[in-house]
Amino acid sequence: MFSLKTFLKEERFYHYFQPIYNLVDGSIKGYEVLLRADEFSNPEPIFELAQKKKQLFELDTRSIYKGIKTYHEAGLTPKEVKLFINVFPSTLLNPKFLSFVKDIMNEHVELRQHLVMEIIESEVITNYTQLIGVIKKLKNVGVTIAIDDFGKGHHDMMRIIELEPHYIKLDRYFAHDLLASKKKQRLVKLIQKFCAENHCDLIIEGLEMDAEIAYVKSLGITYGQGFGLGMPQPIAKLKQTYEKSLGLQEYPMNKRKFRREKFYNQECTLRFLDFGTKKLNSLVNKAIQGYVEDISLGGSKVTLMLDLPVQNKVTVELSFEYNEEYYKIKGVIVRKEAHSSESMIGYGIQFLSLDGYELSRLNQLINTLELASLT
The predicted pLDDT at position 361 comes to 79
pLDDT in tens, 230-263: 889 899 888 776 665 554 444 343 443 456 888 8
8 Å CB contact between 32 and 20 = yes
Rounded to 5 degrees, what are φ and ψ at 13?
A: -145, 165
The predicted pLDDT at position 185 comes to 92
pLDDT in tens, 204-238: 999 988 778 888 988 889 999 998 888 898 998 88
Is 37 a residue whose pLDDT tops 90?
yes
Instruction: Report CA-CA distances (Å) from 267 to 146, 262, 264.
Output: 45, 13, 9
Is 371 a residue whose pLDDT tops 80?
no
The domains of the chain, with CATH numbers, are 4-246 (3.20.20.450), 255-374 (2.40.10.220)
The residue among 84, 80, 77, 109 whose CA lies nearest residue 16 is 84
The 10 Å Cβ neighbour count of residue 196 is 13
The predicted pLDDT at position 131 comes to 92
Q: What angle do CA 365, 223, 201 make, to 5 degrees?
A: 170
8 Å CB contact between 316 and 329 = no
Identify the three-state secondary structure at position 265. Answer: strand
The predicted pLDDT at position 253 comes to 38
Identify the three-state secondary structure at position 62. Answer: helix
Instruction: Report CA-CA distances (Å) from 137 to 97, 101, 113, 131, 141.
Output: 11, 10, 13, 10, 7
Distance CA 289, CA 269 (A): 5
Average pLDDT over residues 52-60: 95
Distance CA 148, CA 125 (A): 14
CA 7 to chain centre: 30
The predicted pLDDT at position 257 comes to 44
Average pLDDT over residues 180-202: 92
Question: Where is average pLDDT lowest: 2-6, 75-79, 271-275?
Answer: 75-79
pLDDT in tens, 255-297: 434 568 888 889 999 999 888 777 667 778 889 999 999 998 8
The rounded percent of the chain whose pLDDT value lies above 70 is: 89
The residue among 83, 87, 2 whose CA lies nearest residue 40 is 2
The predicted pLDDT at position 312 comes to 67
The predicted pLDDT at position 193 comes to 93
8 Å CB contact between 272 and 56 = no
Average pLDDT over residues 174-183: 89
The predicted pLDDT at position 20 comes to 93
The predicted pLDDT at position 16 comes to 95
Of how many residues is the chain composed? Answer: 375
Instruction: Report CA-CA distances (Å) from 170 to 117, 204, 218, 251.
Output: 15, 5, 16, 37
- Which residues make Cβ contacts (< 8 Å) with residue 193, sequence separation at least 6? none
Average pLDDT over residues 157-172: 89
Compute the mean pLDDT over every residue in the chain, rounded to the nearest whole number.
85
Average pLDDT over residues 32-59: 93
pTM, entire model: 0.67
Higher per-residue pLDDT: 359 or 179: 179
